[in-house]
């Protein structure tokens, strides 16, 4: 959720012509913003469906939240336009909602588990009941036949489960692809509307007044980049330790990857001048650097899903 803490106002009334490169930068930036707006929704829905948030690392969310707070402070301190500050506030609120949901499910499920354990504890005052044992070691002939039938049907059940998981996997990928297409369409349409209404205008290559805030912006940029790069490490380790990504929303990380990719590409589409790139290195690190970690999590999704299918087939 990197926000470019740069003052793009020039104080000049002369309009800047819209070049294909600047248009691409605007469209990519709008798509990135759309990704960030909808980013947490898939994981919120996934947690709600499961009634649990055990798959999500709280350390991941807290460090990410610190990065967003850093962006908010930087945006307010730099005196950016109210829209940017409002978006930064939205990011922090969205983080707070997801963290609150995770803490709620963690507390609720812990109480349910404690209650279940208390209920399942045998009462020492309850007398032991004698049981009549048959010649079959306490098992009736019907029980033995049922057990044999279950053993025969186990391979068929395993095959049916694999087929069902494959079909559900295809449906999930179809949903994710359609979601990405919709996000890109909404972002592009949003840029067109903003451009036509004058809410977005092409930015010049040189920015007057930018030097007064470069030092502070870069400090905040490096701080937020460090948070974003560090945030995913606890989640990657948690997935590795549990050998599972069950309970995580794949679309959540797809939108994160797309948002970071379009954000970094939008910066470079605007300009590749040396001074400009150096100024934006913190945000490039924060956006493009986290893509490596997102790809790592994609690999974990693939690896552990294959392992679970093999386990189901053996079982």
Residue 261: its H or E element: helix 250-270
Instruction: Provide the phi-psi class of 43: left if phi over 0, else alpha when psi is between -120 and 50, else beta.
Output: alpha
Candidates 259, 258, 278; CA nearest to 268 is 278
How far, in Å, are 163, 183, 227, 270 from residue 194 at the CA level? 47, 16, 31, 17
Please count the helices (runs of H) and the strands (runs of E) in the chain: 9, 0
* DSSP SS3 for 38: helix
Q: For residues 73 and 69, what is the distance between their CA atoms, to the nearest angstrom?
A: 6
Output the pTM of the full model. 0.76
Residues 6+ apart with CB under 8 A from 179: 42, 251, 254, 255
- Length of the chain, please? 315
Q: Are 64 and 73 in contact (CB under 8 A)?
A: no
Q: For residues 306 and 77, what is the distance between their CA atoms, to the nearest angstrom?
A: 48
Q: For residues 33 and 2, what is the distance between their CA atoms, to the nearest angstrom?
A: 10
Candidates 99, 98, 68; CA nearest to 3 is 68
User: Residues 150-156: what's their mean pLDDT?
Assistant: 52
Q: For residues 220 and 184, what is the distance between their CA atoms, to the nearest angstrom?
A: 29
Residues 6+ apart with CB under 8 A from 45: 249
- Tens digit of each residue's pLDDT (9 = 90 or more) over 157-213: 544 444 445 556 678 889 999 999 999 999 999 999 998 888 788 776 655 444 455
Q: For residues 178 and 185, what is the distance between their CA atoms, to the nearest angstrom?
A: 10
Domain boundaries, the chain: 20-114+162-200+211-314
- Tens digit of each residue's pLDDT (9 = 90 or more) over 50-99: 999 999 999 999 999 999 898 888 777 766 656 667 778 888 999 999 99
Rounded to the nearest integer, the mean pLDDT of the chain is: 78
């Amino acid at each position: 959720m990197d926000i470019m803490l740069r003052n793009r106002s020039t104080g000049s009334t002369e309009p800047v012509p819209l070049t294909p490169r600047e248009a691409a930068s605007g469209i990519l930036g709008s798509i990135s913003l759309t990704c960030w707006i909808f980013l947490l929704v898939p994981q919120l829905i996934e947690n709600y469906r499961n009634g649990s948030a055990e798959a999500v690392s709280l350390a991941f969310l807290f460090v990410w939240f610190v990065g967003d707070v850093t962006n908010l402070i930087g945006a307010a301190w730099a005196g950016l336009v109210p829209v940017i500050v409002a978006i930064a506030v939205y990011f922090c609120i969205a983080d707070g909602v997801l963290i609150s949901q995770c803490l709620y499910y963690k507390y609720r499920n812990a109480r349910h588990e404690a209650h279940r354990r208390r209920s399942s504890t045998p009462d020492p005052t309850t007398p032991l009941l004698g049981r009549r044992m048959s010649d079959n070691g306490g098992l009736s002939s019907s029980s033995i036949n049922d057990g044999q039938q279950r053993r025969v049907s186990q391979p068929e059940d395993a095959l049916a489960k694999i087929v069902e998981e494959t079909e559900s996997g295809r449906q999930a990928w179809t949903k994710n692809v359609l979601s990405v297409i919709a996000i890109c369409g909404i972002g592009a349409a949003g840029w067109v509307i903003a451009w036509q209404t004058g809410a977005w205008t092409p930015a010049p290559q040189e920015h007057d007044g930018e030097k007064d805030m470069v030092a502070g912006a870069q400090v905040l940029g490096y701080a937020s980049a460090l948070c974003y790069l560090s945030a995913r490490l606890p989640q990657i380790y948690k997935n590795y330790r549990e050998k599972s990504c069950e309970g995580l929303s794949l679309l959540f990380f797809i939108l994160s990857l797309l948002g970071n990719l379009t954000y970094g590409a939008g910066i470079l589409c605007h300009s590749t001048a040396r001074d400009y790139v150096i100024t934006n290195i913190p945000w490039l690190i924060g956006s493009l650097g986290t893509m490596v970690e997102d790809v790592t999590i994609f690999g974990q999704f693939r690896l552990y899903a294959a392992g679970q299918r093999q386990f189901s087939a053996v079982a």
